[in-house]
Structure 1
Amino acid sequence: MFNALRAECGQLWRLRGLLRVLMRREIGARVAGSAGGLLWVWLPPLLTVAAYFLVFDVVFGMRLGAQAPTGRVGTYLIVGMLAWMAFVDAAQRGMGSLLEAGSLLHKNPLPPGLFPARTVLASGVVFAPLMLALVPLYAGAHHFRPGVWAVLPLLALQGVLSFLVAYLLAILAAALRDVVQVVGVLLSLGVFLSPVLFPVSLFPEHWRWLLWLNPMTAPILGYQSALLQGAWPGWTVWLALLAWIAVLAVLLSQALTRSRDQLVDWL
């Protein structure tokens, strides 16, 4: 069932040195020609989360209900929005990675997985330090309870999830260019079908199952539990996250098997 994906991952491991070089070039390409250099990699998400804090917590002092993991709106939004921005960045850039590398793949027999993998790793270099920076900033509110370290496995599993989504979308986009536009719309709307902007408790109970159709619902709930409350995420978070990874792994393996002979021609 996973033979194609297992073989692809084996190739990526053997070419991990090349993957590191491609990742560094990917990050360099994002800031090429700018005077600010790497500053522009981290500045946009930093300004976004700073705006949430200033507007909702400092200026308006908005508060959530008692059932929310924290009472402060801006503090709540920052956790979910950072995780969501990381996912969207990896998915969108990864989706177009094979299309951008088409000419290179025509000339060199490289594993196609190198290109979505480099974009996902580059996104991780940008957003993982920002998520980790929230640990000391938020831990004071719950006196550094040990559950805060759940952020580490959550980041690793989100990286796996992002790679599977990005690679699958890259293959689909190569086969049908309309996928890029459709997924762009879905990612814009997906933030509303997740606990990023509001706690699950505020979502109508009989419609809460819809939230689990979003693969990022489980990681976001996990980050909120770990960072806002210092509590280890419940088993439903881990089960849902692993279930999404398993489903995406099956779909990606099938896509790799069926596209093996045509993928380069599609590009």
Structure 2
Amino acid sequence: MIRGLYTATAGMLATQTQSEIIGDNVANVRTPGYKQEDGILKAFPDMLIERTALTNGMSENTLIGSMGTGVVVDSVARMNVQGALQTTDLPTDLAFASPGFFTVQTPEGERYTRNGRFQINAEGTLQNADGFPVLGEKGPIGPLSSAFTVSTNGTVSDQGQVIDRLRMVRIPEETLIREGQSLYSSSQPAQIQNAEMGTVQIRQGAIEGSNVDISGQMTKMITVMNAYQANQKVIQTTDSTLEKAVNEVGKV
């Protein structure tokens, strides 16, 4: 009976983690380049239950059956499907129409993003919304005027002069580590490859929208909350039964 408390508690903790992941997805439904995440559940190993009895002075075991020991959120899966491209006509907005990541320089080192909502700072350097410089093959891109252009292969030009080419990379999906809303690092930096010209396609004046399926997330949230409440009811019922066993049966 007490084991049931642990099993139900594990279920509540797992569904709580799932609800936090869903809430994060919903909060980022308008974040450019955001990728939906889902919690993957894993069951703890089942245990075989046996009843032990003495027969003619000999111990005899009778198999009763198996008992589950609960679940846990084992990993978080990211849906790396491209979001819809949204036209903004802002020259500082850039979007991938192909696989790849932009590179930005942060205090912790280079990080990668598909959020192309950029801006030009007072020094004319292209930067992201957090103020981190966007990197080209020569380093931070700039100085730029408001009339700069970016070709489909990522070449940045200004007033007829080629300034640089965006530093775009390919990263194996399974090595991505999310940092914040739309920045990523890699667990295997050696596997990061520069995207060669002709393998990527950039659109200026557009951004990639989030790929969060809001209706699907709302449906999943209802399912998760129902599971949470069911486990909560199991704990309440078990607690009530234990109380009677201690306070009433124990008096007999």
- The normalised TM-score by structure 1 is 0.21
Q: Identify, as 1 or 2, the structure richer in helix.
A: 1
Q: Which has the larger radius of gyration?
A: 2
- The normalised TM-score by structure 2 is 0.22
